[in-house]
Amino acid sequence: SQQGEEDPQALSIQEGENATMNCSYKTSINNLQWYRQNSGRGLVHLILIRSNEREKHSGRLRVTLDTSKKSSSLLITASRAADTASYFCATSFGTYKYIFGTGTRLKVLA
């Protein structure tokens, strides 16, 4: 079963715009990760945020975590056509087992 659910399921934006996608999960977690998947490169790790952190940045990526609401958001700034992919959150609780969400399919139009 999927622990997390991403919202929206699909998102289409113009190049240069920002893209925001959200992840909600059900149980307490140790950390939350975001992954990107496209047909060319498979699943690639983007960023990790620990349960005691509230915000992290990596290049054009910004991740927030609200453990009281059991939710996280991923912001991609100044999007590019190459950002077109599916984005998944993955949560870990207690062990190194990871549960992936259902994904947000992002399309960036040139």
Partner 1 sequence: DTGVSQDPRHKITKRGQNVTFRCDPISEHNRLYWYRQTLGQGPEFLTYFQNEAQLEKSRLLSDRFSAERPKGSFSTLEIQRTEQGDSAMYLCASSLVGLRGQNSYEQYFGPGTRLTVT
Both tokens of 46, joined, read: 């983007």
Residue 107, φ and ψ in degrees, nearest 5: -125, 120
**Identified binder of partner 1 from the candidate list 1, 14, 52, 68, rule CB under 8 A:** 1
**Identified binder of partner 1 from the candidate list 73, 103, 106, 108, rule CB under 8 A:** 103
Q: Report in angstroms how near the CB of residue 16 gets to partner 1 at its nearest.
A: 28
**Identified binder of partner 1 from the candidate list 7, 13, 53, 98, rule CB under 8 A:** 98
Which secondary structure element, helix H or strand E, spans residue 58, and what is its range?
A: strand 55-58
Strand partners, 10: 105
Q: Which residues in the 37-76 window bind partner 1 by CB under 8 A?
A: 42-45, 48
Q: How far is the CA of 32 from the CAs of 22, 54, 63, in angstroms?
A: 12, 11, 10
Alpha carbon distance 38, 84 (integer Å)? 8
- Applying CB under 8 A, which part among 12-20, 60-68, 74-82, 88-96 lies near partner 1? 88-96
Q: Report in angstroms how near the CB of residue 17 gets to partner 1 at its nearest.
A: 24
Residues making contact with partner 1 (CB under 8 A): 1-2, 4, 31, 33, 42-45, 48, 88, 90, 92, 95-103
